[in-house]
Amino acid sequence: MKSQSRLKEFCKLYLPCRFRFSLILLCSFAASLFTLLIPLCVSKITNIVIDMDSSEALSKLLPVCGVMLALAVLEMLFNYFYDFYGHKLGAEMENALRQKLFAHLTRLSSSEYDEFRVGQLMSSLTNDLLDLTELFHHGPEDYVTSIVKFIGTGIILVSVCGPLSLIAFLCIPVMALYTLYFSHKVRIISRKNRQDISDINAQAEDLLSGIRVVQAYGQEAQAERRFAAAGKRFFHSRTGIYFIESVEYQGVQFLLQLMTILVVGCCAVLISKGSIPVSVLVAFLMYVGYLTEPIRRIAGMTNQYQQGMAGFERVMHFMEMEPEIRDAADAESFLECRGEIRMEHVSFSYRQETGEVLHDISFTIPAGGYAAVTGESGVGKSTLCRLIPRFYEPDSGNIYIDGKNIRSLKLADLRSQIAYVQQDAYLFDGTIEENIRFGREDAAEEEIRQAARYAMADDFIMALPDGYQSLTGPKGVRLSGGQKQRICLARAFLKNAPILILDEATSALDSRTEAQVIAAMEAQRKGKTTLVIAHRLSTVEHAQQLLHFEDGRITGPDKAYRRN
């Protein structure tokens, strides 16, 4: 039942382009018909050559050859149309599905991303969808072509010589059962192979992203062993597919050869007895070739179908994942924000078995207030920040902004009111300007530079050879930790949101630069609610409110700061 449901979902993908798809199928149908008529012309020519003298035969041959030429030209034109436009349509459908999958992935919650690796997603966005491109095109058109040729050939064979056609038809059920038996095995092992290639991508992404750690600890050999283990699993499953495909293909080929031998032998006996003319043998052999071609193609298409559907199932697995955090049915807009943040008895755990990270948290930060969160590493400070933009949902309790429960607000509106700088400064592979502009896409160039000045980033950016057009590299590898943090701060300042959350956003800066950034932030944060996580006293000395965390609980103001 599940495979039938997947097939229906797959067929629905053709609905938006059904008109072009119908034209492509019509062209493949027409091309197949023209192909079937050519052997009849050959049979006619054979009869003319055998039965007539040369002078009479020439006048009869020219019109038949002309008809054959016309059929060949028409066959070429229709084949070109359905081949080129079929591939183009398949590529369009693949691209549309990839965009749809990517858009869906961007809406999944952080908890979903905690459960799988990015490399697995990359495998679905590339390998799985690439197989689907071929299936989108070759699947329907090849099946139509094969069915038309098979049925048309069968009808013509029966009309040419009924007894001989029975020999050919007796072999077909055996081939069909043989193909179906192996196609089921291909489907099973293809799923395993898809999982193995996604594991390879995940391992490569993980190890190469952390290549500096690998090299720093001299663990290149261990990294190679981990990658080799994933590669070995893929090799074994891929070899299994090749083995099954080879056994299936060679078996079908043997049955086809056997059918041809039987037909030729019977034709030879009948010709020797004068029961049929030689032209029937010529036509029959050509049509037997046409009869076996669809069988070969369908056998190959069955494997392609099984592998394509295995990829489609993986894609649909991600597409069917519902975001844990999404808008409520009656979610309200939230376009104006003063910035008051209130938590009431909030508790949270990433997993039930790991215990609570936050326990019974309650506090209020007034609109425009400046609060600092302190405490040792691992006590839940960063988790607290992630709850406010609803990256995660609390297990119990409520969070309010301007007196409104954040669960009742549209998620996009809520996050538009918050500028958030994470503990891990993340830059996209692009220019510095593009990374800062990510905070507000329509920002003018001068606004970008002003945000960089607030973050004390303008000087070092302008000192680079290409200035704001300098490339950061993947994850900002071409910049230092402090430079990356300042660009992330500039991005947040550019967004100019009513709520600013800084999760150890200045930890990689030296004391002098940090003091300059804080002074600039103080000058331009008027009216903004600011929540800062920091370990340095200098970072929180301007705070109006202190929240000290111990073991996931607020235990009071930071004692060290109070003594200071």
Give DSSP secondary structure letters for 390-423: TSS--SEEEEEETTEEGGGB-HHHHHHTEEEE-S
Q: Please give the pLDDT value at position 365.
A: 92
Strand partners, 533: 373, 503
Distance CA 554, CA 343 (A): 12
Distance CA 3, CA 312 (A): 11
Q: Please give the pLDDT value at position 356.
A: 85
Distance CA 199, CA 233 (A): 9
Residue 353 burial by Cβ neighbours in a 10 Å radius (0-12, 13-18, 19+): exposed
Do the beta carbons of residue 373 and residue 365 sit within 8 Å?
A: no
- Matching residue, tokens 């590339």: 126
Coil vs helix vs strand at 39: helix
Do the beta carbons of residue 391 and residue 107 sit within 8 Å?
A: no
In order, the DSSP letters of 411-478 are HHHHHHTEEEE-SS----SSBHHHHHHTT-TT--HHHHHHHHHHTT-HHHHHHSTTGGG-B--GGGTT
Do the beta carbons of residue 479 and residue 427 sit within 8 Å?
A: yes
Strand partners, 531: 371, 501
Residues of CATH 1.20.1560.10 domain(s) within the chain?
A: 2-319
Distance CA 152, CA 39 (A): 12
305: left (phi over 0), alpha (psi -120 to 50) or beta: alpha
Residues of CATH 3.40.50.300 domain(s) within the chain?
A: 341-563
CATH code linked to domain 2-319: 1.20.1560.10
Element (H, E) at 499: strand 499-503
Quote the radius of gyration of the chain (alpha carbons, Å): 35
Coil vs helix vs strand at 505: coil
Strand partners, 554: 549
Closest CA to 416 of 383, 446, 441, 449: 441
- Matching residue, tokens 């938006």: 16
Buried b (16+ CB within 10 A) or exposed e, 535-552: eeeebbeebebbbbbeeb
**In angstroms, how far is CA 543 from the centroid of its own chain?**
45
**In angstroms, how far is CA 190 from the centroid of its own chain?**
17
User: Is the sign of the CA dihedral 282, 283, 289, 292 positive or negative?
Assistant: negative
pLDDT in tens for each of the 564 residues of the chain?
556 677 788 778 888 888 888 888 888 888 888 888 887 777 777 767 666 666 666 777 778 788 888 888 998 998 888 888 888 888 888 888 888 888 888 888 877 777 777 767 777 777 777 777 777 766 777 777 778 877 887 787 777 777 777 777 777 777 777 777 777 777 677 777 777 777 777 777 777 766 666 766 677 788 788 888 888 888 888 888 788 878 877 887 788 788 778 877 877 787 777 777 777 777 777 777 677 677 667 766 766 777 777 778 888 888 888 888 888 888 899 888 999 999 999 999 988 767 788 999 999 999 988 898 888 888 888 889 999 999 889 999 999 999 999 999 998 899 999 998 888 888 888 899 999 998 888 989 999 999 998 888 898 899 999 999 999 888 888 888 888 888 988 998 899 899 999 888 777 677 777 777 777 777 777 778 989 887 766 667 778 888 888 888 888 764 444 434
Length of the chain: 564
Residue 499, phi then psi, degrees to nearest 5: -120, 130
Distance CA 105, CA 113 (A): 9
Q: Please give the pLDDT value at position 558.
A: 46
- pTM, 2 dp: 0.72
Strand partners, 342: 364, 400
Q: Please give the pLDDT value at position 396.
A: 92
Do the beta carbons of residue 119 and residue 198 sit within 8 Å?
A: yes
Closest CA to 323 of 106, 111, 108, 103: 108
Alpha-helical (H) ranges within 210-219 are: 211-216
Q: How many CA atoms lie within 13 A of 291 on its CB side?
A: 28
Was domain 341-563 assigned CATH 3.40.50.300? yes
Q: Please give the pLDDT value at position 498.
A: 92
DSSP 8-state code for residue 501: E
Do the beta carbons of residue 494 and residue 447 sit within 8 Å?
A: yes
What torsion, rounded to 10 degrees, do the Cα atoms 253, 254, 257, 263 define? Answer: -120
Q: How many CA atoms lie within 13 A of 10 on its CB side?
A: 25
